[in-house]
Structure 1
């Protein structure tokens, strides 16, 4: 099977599974993103290992799982004590490092905490987005950032392939162009305006600002992950999606977009 068909089939299945789990039920959303969170943390630890950074995988995955679970329990049923257990677990992770007798102990802990900040925190903040605009689970609000990121990526690629002449950030990502970024941004804002009437709780102005956030922060999320991979000389963060790479490759833009949207909505609401 050619790489094109691998990408097409795995991409289609990814969209179907993600969309279905978001819209079916909050528990389905939780299960899917719990798995995505774990896989993403594992990929990050493997990338760190190439630099001789040895993250304490059991407690690291436990802390990331606990953070995401605490966020879900808080938003869904109002149980907030989960965050206290997560806070305690991060101290255990630091103490555990004393007994591991691994080289680069400082870097091991630093990468562990950054992995939680980079991966688990954005997925946790995603849980809160629908409750910031209403008092109930609103799957369309959760799905909205993903839809805009897909629009932005798709049209940035199309415009870049057709008109791209001026490199956006050649040191990190030689294929990205200003023409692609601008074309993708305009189409993403247009998509947000088209979708606006179907999103209760968000005004047209809110939609435009969120689209601008997706365009700006999505680019930097993509570039950051490209920088990581270039630094350790790998093509993909993983191989869970044939033709697309790993979780970090698929969610690189989203990981930067979600915290920015969360901050914006927190100020607005």
Structure 2
């Protein structure tokens, strides 16, 4: 299967998940993204150089930590009686439990294992947990728009990079990415933002365009980060859950960094 076909199928999967989330609302969306978060945590554990890949208990612990922190943050996004402070308290309890586990089983490298656990929380649980904030705090149009920007940036970067790409972006990390493709992806996303501003004027054109630039830059950073993790681990794909497509991290690498970044931008933009 060609790379373009893979990206098209990925885009179709994004569309289905996005439409389901927009139609179902924040509660069902939380349940929809839970298995995605769990699988991403499992794959990150497999890529980590600071964990025992053969230790099933360690992988399950990372998945449990990701699930609890994800659910706490996601629920705080739509349940007014459970605030972000409450979610933070849950995360602290989880961290204390992880510390206790490391001490009881006598971990040989507790600092490195705690680093891996914190990475799971920051890199996996928090970004996925912020999906409900985009749905509840704003409107489903915002989440749909985010996914459109994410997909158009990815597709634009790939197509323009293939057609015009000459200058390598970061060859030591991802030899296939080019500066021309990166710029082209951002420009295509900005063009899509113009359409979004017309279709959903809840946000002005400058704000939509700013979102497109933020998504284009941060999604590329997410892609490069995951490429660096895979290169360090000596693997081509983060997982094999999706035949021919790799794992969940391979499909959501840009999403993980871009979604919280766009929310921060919107908060700053007012």
TM-score, length of structure 1 as denominator length: 0.89
User: Take 2:257 and 2:30, find their aligned partners in 1: how far apart are those partners?
Assistant: 20
Task: Structure 1: give runs of 5+ residues left out of the alignment.
Answer: none
- Specify whether residues 254 and 116 from structure 1 end up closer, same or farther in structure 2 by C-alpha distance, changes over 3 A only: same
Aligned to 1:121: 126
Compute the RMSD of aligned alpha carbons.
Answer: 2.3
What is the CA distance between 1:51 and its match in structure 2? 6.4
Task: Structure 2: give runs of 5+ residues left out of the alignment.
Answer: none
- 2:115 corresponds, among 89, 93, 110, to 110
The answer to whether structure 1 residue 77 and structure 2 residue 79 are counterparts is yes
* SS of structure 1 residue aligned to 2:246: coil
What is the CA distance between 1:6 and its match in structure 2? 7.8
Aligned to 1:258: 259
Contact 1:7 1:242 in 2 (8 A): no
Question: CA-to-partner distance for each residue in 1:94-128, whole Å, 9 max, x for gaps?
Answer: 11101223332221111111111011111122221
Question: CA-to-partner distance for each residue in 1:59-114, whole Å, 9 max, x for gaps?
Answer: 43222212221223222121233442332121111111012233322211111111
User: Take 2:208 and 2:8, find their aligned partners in 1: how far apart are those partners?
Assistant: 30
Contact 2:50 2:113 in 1 (8 A): no
Aligned to 1:249: 250
* SS of structure 1 residue aligned to 2:141: helix
Aligned to 2:173: 172
Q: 4+ runs of 1 displaced by more than 4 Å? A: 2-6, 49-55
Question: CA-to-partner distance for each residue in 1:214-233, whole Å, 9 max, x for gaps?
Answer: 11111111111100101111
Contact 2:40 2:249 in 1 (8 A): yes
User: Take 2:258 and 2:34, find their aligned partners in 1: how far apart are those partners?
Assistant: 19
Aligned to 2:156: 155
User: Take 1:9 and 1:199, find their aligned partners in 2: how far apart are those partners?
Assistant: 25
TM-score, length of structure 2 as denominator length: 0.88
What is the CA distance between 1:152 and its match in structure 2? 0.8
- Specify whether residues 266 and 90 from structure 1 end up closer, same or farther in structure 2 by C-alpha distance, changes over 3 A only: same
* SS of structure 2 residue aligned to 1:91: helix
- Specify whether residues 4 and 129 from structure 1 end up closer, same or farther in structure 2 by C-alpha distance, changes over 3 A only: closer
What is the CA distance between 1:46 and its match in structure 2? 1.4
Task: Tell me the number of residue pairs that the alignment of Structure 1 and Structure 2 aligns.
Answer: 264
Aligned to 1:46: 46
